[in-house]
Structure formats: C-alpha cells, structure tokens
C-alpha cells in the first residue's frame, strides 16, 4: 500500500500528536509538502534536522507534466487551492492514498 502524506500529517508526526500510528507502508510526499515543511520560518535546528531525515526516508513526487496537467484540471473543476490540487494530483497519479488532516468548513 502506498500513502501520500499531506503537510499537516507530517507536522503532527513530527510533534508526536497523531491520533493513530502510521501503518507500515510505502510513504511519499509531494514536492509541495517538502517546500511547505522546510519554508516554515520558525523552525529550530532540531526541527530542520528531523525534517531532513524524514524527507530523506520518503519518496518525493515532483512536479511532472502529468501532475501539472491533472492539478490544473482538479483546480478548475473543484475550485481547489493550487497547492492542494498539486498534492491531490500527485496522489491520484501515483495511486496513493492521501492522508490529510484538513478540516475545512463549507
């Protein structure tokens, strides 16, 4: 089984506050998640080191032509924010279950 972790799941994992442990599986993140994680301005050196170790242990799904085209389609048809559309497209194209903790009202 393949899972694609959204940014918020990695943050919860890093903080040790996930409600449930992640099952043994193959894990990926989108390049968007990598960028969001590493660009947070208030990271400590310890946070940065943890993130680099974590990122080195998972597959990074880049912004390929296929991801780009599907993200455009998803954004247009579902009115997603661009980063969310890229993450969703990555999960769909790589046949991965997207794990997220988004809780948005309508």
Range 45-74 burial, b when 16+ CB lie within 10 A, else e: eebeebbeebbeebeebeeeeebeebbeeb
Residue 102: is its pLDDT beyond 80?
Answer: no
At residue 106, the pLDDT reads 39
Compute φ and ψ for 59, nearest 5 degrees.
Answer: -80, 135
- Spans of all domains in the chain: 2-99
CB 6 within 8 A of CB 60: no
pLDDT digits (tens, 9 = 90+) for 6-19: 999 999 999 999 88
At residue 2, the pLDDT reads 96
pLDDT digits (tens, 9 = 90+) for 31-74: 999 999 999 999 999 999 999 999 999 999 999 999 999 999 99
Total residues belonging to the chain: 106
| Domain at 2-99: CATH code | 3.40.50.1010
Cα distance between residue 46 and residue 57, in whole Å: 17
At residue 101, the pLDDT reads 81
- Looking up tokens 């996930």, which residue turns up? 18
CB 93 within 8 A of CB 67: yes
Strands of the sheet with 59-61, listed across from one edge: 59-61, 26-30, 2-5, 97-99
């Amino acid at each position: 089984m393949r899972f694609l972790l959204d940014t918020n799941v990695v943050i919860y994992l890093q903080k040790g506050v996930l409600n449930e442990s992640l099952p043994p599986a193959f894990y990926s993140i989108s390049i968007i998640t990598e960028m969001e994680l590493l660009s947070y301005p208030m990271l400590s050196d310890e946070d940065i080191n943890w993130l680099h170790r974590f990122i080195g242990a998972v597959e990074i799904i880049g912004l390929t032509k296929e991801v780009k085209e599907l993200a455009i389609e998803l954004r247009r048809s579902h009115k997603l924010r661009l980063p969310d559309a890229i993450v969703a497209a990555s999960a769909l194209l790589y046949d991965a279950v997207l794990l997220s903790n988004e809780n948005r009202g309508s």
